Amino acid sequence: MDRIERLLTEYDDRASEVTNADHRFFKASLERWFDLIDETPEFAVTCQRLEASVDFPRWYEELGRRQSSHGMGSAPLSLSPRAR
């Protein structure tokens, strides 16, 4: 198995841990997934480009407004930059 295959396998494993974690382990599982992304150059470069292209504080604030006016979970969670 080459390096990329190992990384993708580890990514899938950690993503699965997050998906299947209950409330006791969710935070730790999510932190492990983020650690993999942040510490792996193959993933980190792409994430840095994505992060630079989005105004997260603005997106998050608008999400909060939509959630409060429609009720938590009832407003769609749009990840598209066009939803600004």
Determine which helix (DSSP H) or strand (DSSP E) holds 75, and give its type and residue range: none
CA distance 51 to 32: 19
pLDDT of residue 79 exceeding 80, the answer is no
Q: What is this structure's pTM? A: 0.60
**Tell me, what's the pLDDT at 31?**
96
- Give dist(CA 42, CA 7) in Å, integer: 9
Q: What is the pLDDT of residues 30-75, one digit of tens each?
A: 999 999 999 999 899 998 898 898 888 898 888 888 778 776 656 5
Residue located via tokens 């909060």: 64
Confidence of residue 84 (pLDDT cuts 50, 70, 90): very low
Structure tokens at 69: 């006016």
Confidence check: pLDDT of 83 > 80: no
> 23: which 2 tokens?
């409330």
